[in-house]
Amino acid sequence: MSIKMTREELAASINYKFPKTNWMDTPVVFKKGTYNNAAVPDSITYVNQPNPRKWQPYEDDWKLPENWQTIILEGLRERLHKFRSLKLFMDICVRCGACADKCHFYLGSGDPKNMPVLRAELLRAVYRKDFTTAGKLMGKIAGARELTFDVLKEWFYYFYQCTQCRRCSVFCPYGIDTAEITFIARELMNLIGVNIDWVMTPVANSHRTGNHLGIQPHGFVDSIEFAVDDLEEITGIRVQAPINKKGAEVLFVTPSADYFGEPHYYTLLGYLALFHEVGLDYTWSTYASEGGNFGSFVSHELMKVLNAKIYAEAKRLKVKWIIGGECGHMWRVLHQYMDTLNGPADFLETPVSPITGTKFEHARSTKMIHITEFTADLIRHNKIKLDPSRNDHWHATFHDSCNPARAIGLFEEPRYILKHVLNKFTEMPDNTIREQTFCCGSGAGLGTEENFEMRMRGGFPRANAAKYVNEKYGVNVVACICAIDKATLVPLFNYWVPGLEVAGVHEFVGNALVMKGEKPRELDMRQQPLHGKEEESKNV
């Protein structure tokens, strides 16, 4: 991977000392490996966003519109009128410092501007300068500063060094949510075309093809058929995987990484096996082939536009309700934004599990439930037969993904499943799980190669906790319910905790699920020999 420092060197480079200079007088340095590339003009053009052009953050000229300050300040004024959260969070922070050491980027970089309080002060200082009397009159001494190009550089660097994980907002005595501030700061920067490629290109792809990877319908069909073949090889059963099927009971939407990435793919096999086994009448969609929403990493409008496809497709296919797969930020959007942005989903019905009869009352408005809610309910009602010993080659822990944790409170559903499909399960330390969980360090669009050092720094607290259970209890796999986790925890652990694997919850479900008419299982979803089977196959 693109980092020269060893993990020992990187860890040793972290210290929590403070520079001699005041933070306002400490300019940003674009150090290779710690920031993301700018968005390419084609992607910006495709979704009709402002100022498409070629530029890079390390350059001296960002080719901004002449009146860029005015555009941002007017944008800020508009958003102060539109978001009470913003207005309040600008005014009420007392700088008590409770958030300071809660951010994974601060813990991994020691850079004071990664303390959530200072990240927010970057915006607050500009707010004070232009929207408060004290700031107008007294300037710097009142904590105000003018929006200069240098300030914009800091905005770009630090607001794209926040993964909107909201851990700080758990500890803030006033509930100030840095994700909300980052959200709006990114939205403001987007007004002048300051955004990153790993967000904007997936947005453009998703807009056009329905998914971030730009997979066209035939590619999607191929992937699913490929998975059906693989599952047949493992289980001896050829499952049905209907696509764009009208009149199915359920629409299933999952992040596109599930059918193209590893180890996501093994989770996909788990979904396929489970839906077949319980006889769920469902359909995939090529048009709504993405649960993830990179639009939510840049603006509320793009979030809405990308999310709109899910309800539109549910309506077109005349399904009754929707299940969402394992994904983090996707679930933040589905849970906290979708109904408001694209609802009401009055053409759908309150989800009722056709297998158990459970009515999911808590989703009676959005009509969409999380796959772990669906599966936990199946297990509770003994509707599936499980053989947890098929996962005996795994000793798992569970990494709570930021968004399902702090935007939903989805803590026990996945754990309930894991405890039924696995024999060996050990939690990481309390300060690092559930609502205090640490981000993978690569969320909110930051999971790029060029940003690799900063990702390893941001993921350090998570890796550190995982390493603890790995060394002390022999944990060899981290289970999670987020596609970005699955993509980025792998290199993170390769770097910090070599040998530690990453898997989706439904991969373990797929392994443990005893299917009617299956052949004796010798391989797990990764097509590796099951525990004990390795010896047997040698003896034969």
CA distance 83 to 182: 13
CA distance 462 to 398: 11
Query: Binding to other proteins by residue 170, rule CB under 8 A?
Result: yes
CB 195 within 8 A of CB 182: no
- 335, β-bridge pairs: none
Query: Binding to other proteins by residue 94, rule CB under 8 A?
Result: yes
Residues 6+ apart with CB under 8 A from 527: 230, 233, 234
Closest to other proteins by CB, 356 or 389: 356
Q: What are phi and psi of 284, to 5 degrees?
A: -85, 165
Contact flags string 309-328 toward other proteins, x per CB under 8 A:
x--xx--x------------
**List 3, 40, 98, 352, residue binding other proteins (CB under 8 A):** 98
Give, as ranges, the residues between 184 and 203 that touch other proteins (CB under 8 A): none
Four-point Cα dihedral 308, 309, 312, 314, nearest 10: -120
Give, as ranges, the residues between 71 and 90 that touch other proteins (CB under 8 A): 80-88
Give, as ranges, the residues between 466 and 525 that touch other proteins (CB under 8 A): 468
Q: What are phi and psi of 51, to 5 degrees?
A: 55, 55
Query: Binding to other proteins by residue 137, rule CB under 8 A?
Result: no
Q: Is the dihedral of CA 26, 31, 36, 39 positive or negative?
A: positive
Query: Binding to other proteins by residue 352, rule CB under 8 A?
Result: no
Give the 3-state secondary structure of residue 323. Answer: strand
**List 50, 65, 97, 236, residue binding other proteins (CB under 8 A):** 97
CB of 469 to other proteins, least distance (A): 13
CA distance 534 to 527: 12
**List 57, 354, 358, 531, residue binding other proteins (CB under 8 A):** 358
Query: Binding to other proteins by residue 365, rule CB under 8 A?
Result: yes
Q: Which stretch binds other proteins (CB under 8 A): 61-69, 294-302, 520-528, 532-540?
A: 294-302
Structural element, H or E, at residue 527: none
Contact flags string 8-47 toward other proteins, x per CB under 8 A:
x--xx-xxxxx---xx------------------------
**List 3, 40, 341, 352, residue binding other proteins (CB under 8 A):** 341
| Alpha helices, H only, 65-132 | 68-82, 84-91, 104-109, 116-131
CB of 203 to other proteins, least distance (A): 11
Query: Binding to other proteins by residue 93, rule CB under 8 A?
Result: yes
Closest to other proteins by CB, 237 or 379: 379
**List 51, 102, 190, 521, residue binding other proteins (CB under 8 A):** 102
**List 172, 241, 421, 440, residue binding other proteins (CB under 8 A):** 172
**DSSP classification of residue 390:** G
Q: Which stretch binds other proteins (CB under 8 A): 34-42, 193-201, 373-381, 445-453?
A: 373-381
Residues 6+ apart with CB under 8 A from 258: 264, 265, 267, 268, 271, 325, 326, 483, 504
Query: Binding to other proteins by residue 92, rule CB under 8 A?
Result: yes
Query: Binding to other proteins by residue 412, rule CB under 8 A?
Result: yes
Query: Binding to other proteins by residue 293, rule CB under 8 A?
Result: no
Q: Which stretch binds other proteins (CB under 8 A): 52-60, 208-216, 264-272, 439-447?
A: 208-216
Q: Which stretch binds other proteins (CB under 8 A): 263-271, 273-281, 330-338, 503-511?
A: 330-338
Query: Binding to other proteins by residue 247, rule CB under 8 A?
Result: no
CB 272 within 8 A of CB 228: yes
CB of 518 to other proteins, least distance (A): 27
Query: Binding to other proteins by residue 3, rule CB under 8 A?
Result: no
CB 171 within 8 A of CB 102: yes
Long-range contacts (CB closer than 8 Å, 24 or more residues apart) made by 340-346: 341/300, 341/303, 341/304, 341/307, 341/308, 342/304, 342/307, 342/308, 342/310, 342/311, 343/311, 345/311, 345/314
**List 118, 253, 269, 497, residue binding other proteins (CB under 8 A):** 118
CB 164 within 8 A of CB 441: no
